[in-house]
Amino acid sequence: MDQLQRDMCFYYGYNEYLMEKLLQLFTVNEAVEFFEANEIARPVTIRTNTLKTRRRDLAQALINRGVNLDPIGKWTKVGLTIFDSPVPVGATPEYMAGHYMIQAASSFLPVMALAPQENERVLDMSAAPGGKTTYCAALMKNTGLVVANDANREREKALVANIHRLGISNAVVCNYDGREFPKVMGGFDRVLLDAPCSGTGVISKDASVKTNKGPEDFSMLTNLQKELLLSAIDSVNADSPTGGYIVYSTCSVTVEEDEAVVNYALSKRPNIKLVDAKLDFGRPGFTSFRGRAFHSSLSLTRRFYPHTHNMDGFFVAKFKKLSNKVQVEENQFIVPAGSGVKLKQKKKRRN
C-alpha cells in the first residue's frame, strides 16, 4: 500500500499527506476515478437570473448567438451547461444585462437547501463573489433582506458588481469577520455559511491544492469552520415563523471539514438538529469514519463528488434551530446575544 501511495503521488502530483487522506476516504478504484476526474475541467455552467428572464428565453437568446448548451439536469430549473461558445460567455449582451450568473453547479446546492422565503431576513456569512447571495435574492423575489458579508474586502468588489449587474435591490453588503456575528447583527430567519475550506473538491480548478495543504492548514481551517458555524447558529432566531434554518457547506471532501465540524456543532449546541436538505441526489454523509462514530442524523447531510456527479466536490448540511436558549448545565441556560430574543429586565426595587 505504501508503494502504491508513493506511485500515485508521483503520477498525479499530490503530496503524501493529502494522498493518504484521500485514500482513506475512497477505495483504491474509486480514488483513481476521483483523481482522474480532478484532471478534467468541469463543464461551464450558468444560472438564470429569474428576476430578469426565464431559462427558456435565455437559452434561446444564447442559441441564437451560436452557443451550444443544455439544461444542467432535472434537479435545477435555472441552470444551463455551456458546451462551447463562439463568444466569451462572460461578455455577451445577456451577461452584461444581468440575465445570468456564471456559477458552478455545486454552488446552487446550498441555496436550494436553504430555501429562503419571501420577506425573510437572510445572512450569507461568506458571500463573495455573490453567486449564492444573488440566487437567494432571486428566490426571495427581491423582497425582505439579504445581508451579504465577506471578511475579504478585495473579494467584495466582485460581490458588489454582481449585485448591481443582476438587479438585486434587497441586499446589504458588509465586511466583518464572520465570527463577529451575532454581536454585529442577529435574529435572522436563515443563515448560509459556505465556509472557507481546503478546496479538495475543486482541485480541477486549482491544482495547487495537491501540494500546498498540510496538517497545519487543516488544523487552522477546521478550527475556523467550527467557530464560524457556531456563530451562524447563534445568529438565527429559532422563533422565526417561517425559518430558523442554517445551512453549512464546503467545497471540500475531507471528513474533518465536513461531518466532524457538523458533529462538533451538534455537541456544542444541543438546541439544533439536522434536517433533510431536500436534495434529491448526492451520497449520504458518514455516520462513522475510521473507528470514529458521529451522530446518526449525519446521514441527512449530502456529499457530492466530481467523478460521480460531474460537478465540484461539495458537502451540504442543513440544521433547524429549536430554541434560542442553550443548556450549559442541568437547569442552567444561556441565550447568545443577538439571537433575536428580547430578554425582560427585572426592575430594581427602591428602598
> Among all residues, which ones are annotated catalytic?
251
Q: Given the DSSP bridges, would you call strands 121-124 and 326-329 parallel, antiparallel or unpaired? A: unpaired
* 69: β partners: 82
Which three cell numbers, joined as nine digits, stand for 236?
Answer: 438565527
Q: How far apart are CA 80 and CA 113, in angstroms?
A: 19
**Is the distance from CB of 149 to CB of 139 less than 8 angstroms?**
no
Backbone CA torsion sign across 27, 260, 194, 140: positive
Q: Of 279, 200, 236, which is closest to residue 23 (Cα–Cα)?
A: 200
Burial class (CB in 10 A: 0-12, 13-18, 19+), 52: middle
Count of beta carbons in the 10 Å neighbourhood of residue 187: 18
